Amino acid sequence: MSEQVTVHGQVDSGFGPVADAFRRNFEQHGEIGAAVAVYAGDRPVVDLWAGSRDRKRRLGWERDTMAPVWSSTKGMTAFVVASAVSRGLLDYEAPVAKYWPEFAAHGKESITVRQLLDHQAGLAALDRPVRLREMADLDGLAVLLADQKPLWQPGTRQGYHPITAGLYQGELIRRVDPAHRTLGRVFAEDFAAPLGLDFYIGLPEEISLDRVATLSATQGLDILKYERDLPLRIGAQLYAKRGLSFRALNSPQVGAPARATRREFLEVESPAAGGVGTARSLARVYGAAAGDTGELPIDSDLLQRLAAAETAQDVPADDLVLLTRSRYHLGFRKSCGSFRFGADARAYGTTGYGGSFGFADPATGLGFGYTMNRLGMAVLDDVRARNLRQALRRCL
């Protein structure tokens, strides 16, 4: 059992079980440093942080400590796409090639924006190696992305696009935005600035890395102590360095996840996996969406569409990359099988590699955000995030 830590922050009356679960994550589940936040609309009801922001446990996790959140970034990106749909710049059901003609190459002319968002486009990996410096060359990257051949018949199967999803969505936003802003800039100007967020898709040079937690891989005996949901089939592909899961998780090649806290990675806009921010910021955006506070550049009708319980287009299906059943909806995850979150099927959000999680719960008007620096190994349902959201449900 880990030593006790001091939990900082505030919890409104009635939300004490979330604080208790947060503390137990340190005592029983190997937490090094972490933060959890819950917003009721635009009002914080849980805002907690504790532990250390470095592997050696010498530097305390502060109120403004940010963490790389990997695929929890996808939720913020999906909101940017939703804002473009809300403004009439995009249509979920329109072909991507309507906005990006070159994309139609190699039989991609019928792939819709929705299929691209929901991991049905067959573009989970690229045929040639791409490194960080090439991701920063958006014009050159667009040519490479457009020339990619689908890995399966688009629209017939789904397979998680860990990194490429954001690259395609980023170019799509750059094409339709009237000022041709990048997706990271749209998020910074239209979401982060108005809501006062500490969240970046492309870390500005003026933000010190001292504010960013250092991630720590779970290794050795800690795997036996803290991990119960090991992705053995994916692990086998990673060990053998072959298979679709291996290809997708290494395309583009951005380096080991535990090395994310470095300038050359965080400064590049990677809208699927490169976001860095606070749990408070995740909860703030999702709270504004769940409570329909009018603060987001997304109209109410579209927010209701994001919260759709289920449609014929996003039923649970086997995932060719994650090797489990998944359900995607307009760029977000929905509850599927044993992976449940929120009060009902309207809840939506995204998980991130290692355990981070953010979601909106329209049934209650709550937004949830969780960040940490010990990288768990579960595919979707990290036990620490699960403990926190189950405690939140008990509060309601």
Where helices occur in the chain by DSSP H, the ranges are 16-28, 73-86, 113-117, 132-135, 138-146, 164-176, 183-187, 193-195, 221-226, 232-240, 244-249, 263-266, 279-290, 300-306, 383-395
Whether the pLDDT of residue 118 is over 80: the answer is yes
CA dihedral 73, 351, 292, 99 (to 10 degrees): 50
Whether the pLDDT of residue 293 is over 70: the answer is yes
- 343 in helix, strand or coil? coil
Whether the pLDDT of residue 109 is over 60: the answer is yes
Residue reference for tokens 């991990």? 227
Cα–Cα nearest to 356, from 318, 323, 389? 389
**341 within 8 A of 350, measured Cβ to Cβ:** no
CATH of the domain at 122: 3.40.710.10
Per-residue pLDDT, 3: 61
Please state the domain count of the chain: 1
Q: How far is CA 4 from CA 11, 25, 165, 373, 377, in A?
A: 19, 10, 40, 17, 23
Beta bridge partners of 68: 276
Catalytic status, residue 71:
yes
Q: Which two tokens stand for residue 19?
A: 């604080």
Exposed, middle or buried, 178 (CB in 10 Å: 0-12/13-18/19+)?
A: exposed
Residues 16, 18: Cα–Cα separation, whole Å: 5
Better-predicted residue by pLDDT, 101 or 309: 101
Per-residue pLDDT, 2: 52
**Poorest-pLDDT segment among 159-168, 240-249, 303-312:** 303-312
Whether the pLDDT of residue 68 is over 60: the answer is yes
Note the pLDDT tens digit of each residue in 227-240.
988 899 999 999 99
- 10 in helix, strand or coil? strand
The per-residue pLDDT of the chain, averaged, comes to 96
**Looking at 52, 71, 270, 281, which residue is catalytic?**
71
Note the pLDDT tens digit of each residue in 244-280.
999 999 999 999 999 999 999 999 999 999 999 999 9
Domain that holds residue 148: 1-396
